[in-house]
A and B are shown apart, each in its own frame.
Chain A
Amino acid sequence: MRTFRPSTALRSLGLIAILAVAVFPVYWMINTALSADSELFNTGQDLYPHIERVGEIPEFLSGIPIGRWLWNSAVIALGTTVLSLLIAVHAAYALSRYRFFGKGIAGVLLFTTQMMPQALILVPLFALFSTLGLLNNLGGLVLANTAFVMPVGVFILKGAIDGVPFEIEEAARVDGASRFGILSLVVLPLIGPSVAAAAVICFFDGWNEFMFANVFIRDQALWPASIGLSSFIGQFYTPINGVMIAALAFALPAVVFFLLMQRRIVSGLTAGSVKG
């Protein structure tokens, strides 16, 4: 039988308050997307969304190359994710399991990338990319993003690999697995949830990235959605509702990606330790 407890009610109220703060901007984005210019700039926006204007959304989207932008964003985000994880898994395994000269330095250097503002390296990177012909190139953006987000993946995965009992790897060695075999057949399946978590972080870093894309990409056909969105902002006029419609289209694939990954992350968290 459930009994009413004031503390439970208070906690629920608190949670609702926090949730409201978190969700309201999303709601306002939808609301704004469904508002007319006249409301936004004259009478003020209604608190409830004008659902009847949903029909105008496809019309607006057909007027901009949103498909092209999202495709470019996806190439950058997935490229960053794959490349970062590929490097991070091996680096994390080495940092966790091997003793080698310069191990401490390697860890510190990886950490330094996280303390340095990206803007600091913008100009040198521009010069470098210009020399290498990586400007105006989605591959160049993947490289730049990977350099900054891969260390985060390394730290997440190193923590996870540290938690895999050493005896399981020894067992695999005795059973005849090679070093790569141990990593791919035994260690990776056991740290799956952490790989998923790292994948989410890498993906969103690539998907949301604005500054490098803004500086390195000149060709409009190569704009990712983050640049596309900002291009609405004009000197004299910004179609706020249009920006919000595009922003919704920009947010949707990311939400889908997160939901796909979320189940893996949560199942890993509830499954508990790998010791079983």
Chain B
Amino acid sequence: MPSISLRNVRKNYGNAAPTIAGLDLEIEDGEFLVLVGPSGCGKSTLLRMIAGLLELDGGRIFVDNKDVSGLDARQRRVAFMFQTYALYPHMSIEQNIAFPLVAEKLRWYHYLPGISSLAIRRFAADPEVARRVDGACGALDLDGLRRQKPKALSGGQRQRAALARAIVRDPSIFLLDEPLSNLDAKLRVQIRSELVALQKRLGKTFVYVTHDQVEAMTMAHRVAILDRGMLQQIGTPQDVYDHPANLFVARFIGSPEINIVSPATIGRPDDRTTLLGVRPSHVNLSRDAAAGLPGRVVAVEDLGAEHVYAFTLDSDPARTTLHSVSHVDLDLLPGDRASITFDLAAAVTFDRKSGLRKQPAVEEIQ
């Protein structure tokens, strides 16, 4: 079974800084790994290198301990799902799904104009091909759409068709490049769970690229966070949420964003080497201005089940906006005075200079 391992992988687009500078990553067999990071962090580049669509500028990629670095995409036998689905517009859904099976049977003389369409039709009629296309169509509920062209399908249906084309060859590695970003919000949530279920059923290795940390947190066995071509942290969603390796990871994972406060703000002016990270759920807001550190509410978001309060502290000269999430409605409006207490037991300490997390936790203070 396939495990993927990337050793010192490099990609240079000719700019001053390499897009990916010596990256190591071990992806386990049957794992759902989500590669997440801001745009331009190199996550799509990395995925295309695993697929063989981009050449490496250094390093090696192993699948099952076999070096595949020199192989072209067609020899790696992976499935790839594109953000735009990349269905072939001139073929019916059926032909789209059959294409990976047909393509491997074609010889050079089948490529001559005129002969190609005949050859495709002949190979698509092959009973083994037809059986597998039937299976893929059935699995993704596409039976009613088989003769349609991609143009006639909705976004969600195209998505399923692209998925059917991916699974028809029964590849052991699935690479997905932001497959949900062209869908509307509701469909996205639905297909998210369908993808997770599919991965569980197939038991294959999934590598999934997204810039959406919610997708990363909800779908992944493990999350790998990338920034500027470097792996920042890899771990389970809970692990990267609770124990972010550095300030970047802490800020990137979690919504609303983690609060980064300097110790001086909470009454420890001597500590100049650290920064504290406190999740909004660990910040308690109170209407009683004397109950903690005084400040002012600047914005309130009512999400129904919870309220997100944005506020500034009087003790912070920069007036950085901090966030607090509360399940009870505190009946505060922008401009109101309030006070907060940080649950410092749950706080994460970072080195101010390097941005790296410091191991020991801080004792709780008011």
Contact A171 B86 (CB under 8 A): yes
**A195: nearest chain-B partner, CB-CB:** B113
Asked whether any CB of chain A lies closer than 8 Å to the CB of B292, the reply is no
- 1/0 per position for B103-115, CB-CB distance to A under 8 A? 1101010011100
**B88 touches which of A170, A181, A186 (Cβ 8 Å):** A186
Known A-B contacts A168-B86, A184-B111; A175 and B53 likewise in contact (beta carbons under 8 Å): no
Q: Which residues of chain A are within 8 angstroms of B99 by Cβ–Cβ distance?
A: 172, 175, 177
Q: Which residues of chain A are within 8 angstroms of B80 by Cβ–Cβ distance?
A: 170-171, 174
Contact A172 B111 (CB under 8 A): no
Complex Cα distance, B111 from A185, in Å, reads 7
Contact B113 A188 (CB under 8 A): yes
Complex Cα distance, B267 from A229, in Å, reads 101
Which A residues, 19 to 44, have Cβ-Cβ distances below 8 Å to chain B? none
Complex Cα distance, B106 from A167, in Å, reads 21
CB distance from B252 to the nearest CB of A (A): 26
Contact B113 A175 (CB under 8 A): no
Asked whether any CB of chain A lies closer than 8 Å to the CB of B287, the reply is no
Asked whether any CB of chain A lies closer than 8 Å to the CB of B7, the reply is no
CB distance from A70 to the nearest CB of B (A): 26
Asked whether any CB of chain B lies closer than 8 Å to the CB of A276, the reply is yes
Complex Cα distance, B112 from A13, in Å, reads 49
Q: Which residues of chain B are within 8 angstroms of A180 by Cβ–Cβ distance?
A: 108, 111
Asked whether any CB of chain B lies closer than 8 Å to the CB of A178, the reply is yes
- 1/0 per position for A174-194, CB-CB distance to B under 8 A? 111110110111101110000
Complex Cα distance, B80 from A172, in Å, reads 10
Contact A276 B151 (CB under 8 A): yes
**B53: nearest chain-A partner, CB-CB:** A170
Known A-B contacts A175-B165, A176-B104; A276 and B149 likewise in contact (beta carbons under 8 Å): yes
Summed over the interface, the residue pairs from A and B with CB atoms below 8 Å come to a total of: 86
Asked whether any CB of chain B lies closer than 8 Å to the CB of A275, the reply is yes
Q: Which residues of chain B are within 8 angstroms of A165 by Cβ–Cβ distance?
A: 84, 86
Complex Cα distance, B111 from A180, in Å, reads 7
Which B residues, 63 to 100, have Cβ-Cβ distances below 8 Å to chain A? 72-74, 77-80, 82-84, 86-90, 99-100
Asked whether any CB of chain B lies closer than 8 Å to the CB of A97, the reply is no
Complex Cα distance, B151 from A184, in Å, reads 21
Contact A176 B103 (CB under 8 A): yes
Q: Which residues of chain A are within 8 angstroms of B113 by Cβ–Cβ distance?
A: 184, 188
CB distance from B234 to the nearest CB of A (A): 25
**B106: nearest chain-A partner, CB-CB:** A181
Which A residues, 86 to 103, have Cβ-Cβ distances below 8 Å to chain B? none
Q: Which residues of chain A are within 8 angstroms of B52 by Cβ–Cβ distance?
A: 173-174
Complex Cα distance, B84 from A178, in Å, reads 22
Asked whether any CB of chain A lies closer than 8 Å to the CB of B120, the reply is yes
Q: Which residues of chain A are within 8 angstroms of B82 by Cβ–Cβ distance?
A: 167, 170-171
Q: Which residues of chain A are within 8 angstroms of B225 by Cβ–Cβ distance?
A: none
Q: Which residues of chain B are within 8 angstroms of A176 by Cβ–Cβ distance?
A: 74, 77, 100, 103-104, 169
Complex Cα distance, B151 from A176, in Å, reads 23
Complex Cα distance, B89 from A173, in Å, reads 16
**B168: nearest chain-A partner, CB-CB:** A175
Known A-B contacts A174-B53, A181-B106, A184-B116; A190 and B90 likewise in contact (beta carbons under 8 Å): yes
Using C-beta atoms within 8 Å of the partner chain, give the interface range for chain B.
Answer: 35 or more
Q: Which residues of chain A are within 8 angstroms of B116 by Cβ–Cβ distance?
A: 184-185
Asked whether any CB of chain B lies closer than 8 Å to the CB of A16, the reply is no
Asked whether any CB of chain A lies closer than 8 Å to the CB of B6, the reply is no
**B111 touches which of A170, A173, A181, A276 (Cβ 8 Å):** A181
Contact B79 A174 (CB under 8 A): yes
Complex Cα distance, B88 from A181, in Å, reads 13
Q: Which of A181, A185, A186 has the most CB of B within 10 A?
A: A185
CB distance from A200 to the nearest CB of B (A): 17
Contact B73 A174 (CB under 8 A): yes
Contact B72 A173 (CB under 8 A): yes
Asked whether any CB of chain B lies closer than 8 Å to the CB of A274, the reply is yes
CB distance from A190 to the nearest CB of B (A): 6
Asked whether any CB of chain A lies closer than 8 Å to the CB of B51, the reply is yes
Q: Which residues of chain B are within 8 angstroms of A172 by Cβ–Cβ distance?
A: 88, 99, 103
Known A-B contacts A184-B111, A276-B149, A276-B151; A174 and B78 likewise in contact (beta carbons under 8 Å): yes
Contact A177 B86 (CB under 8 A): no
Asked whether any CB of chain A lies closer than 8 Å to the CB of B294, the reply is no
Complex Cα distance, B351 from A193, in Å, reads 62
Complex Cα distance, B116 from A8, in Å, reads 48
Which B residues, 236 to 257, have Cβ-Cβ distances below 8 Å to chain A? none
Contact A173 B73 (CB under 8 A): yes
Q: Which of B78, B84, B103, B169 has the most CB of A within 10 A?
A: B103
Which A residues, 137 to 192, have Cβ-Cβ distances below 8 Å to chain B? 165, 167-168, 170-178, 180-181, 183-186, 188-190
Asked whether any CB of chain A lies closer than 8 Å to the CB of B37, the reply is no
Asked whether any CB of chain A lies closer than 8 Å to the CB of B295, the reply is no
Known A-B contacts A190-B89, A275-B89; A175 and B100 likewise in contact (beta carbons under 8 Å): yes
Complex Cα distance, B169 from A74, in Å, reads 47
Q: Which residues of chain A are within 8 angstroms of B74 by Cβ–Cβ distance?
A: 173-178
**B153: nearest chain-A partner, CB-CB:** A276
Complex Cα distance, B161 from A171, in Å, reads 13
Asked whether any CB of chain A lies closer than 8 Å to the CB of B150, the reply is yes
- A to B CB contacts below 8 Å, 29 in the list: A165-B84, A165-B86, A167-B83, A167-B86, A168-B86, A168-B88, A168-B89, A170-B53, A170-B80, A171-B82, A171-B87, A171-B88, A171-B165, A173-B72, A174-B51, A174-B78, A175-B100, A176-B77, A176-B104, A177-B99, A177-B106, A178-B108, A183-B111, A184-B112, A184-B113, A185-B111, A190-B90, A275-B84, A276-B89
- Which residues of A does B touch, CB under 8 Å? 165, 167-168, 170-178, 180-181, 183-186, 188-190, 274-276
9 nearest A-B residue pairs (beta carbon): A276-B151, A171-B86, A175-B100, A167-B86, A176-B103, A184-B111, A276-B89, A173-B73, A174-B80
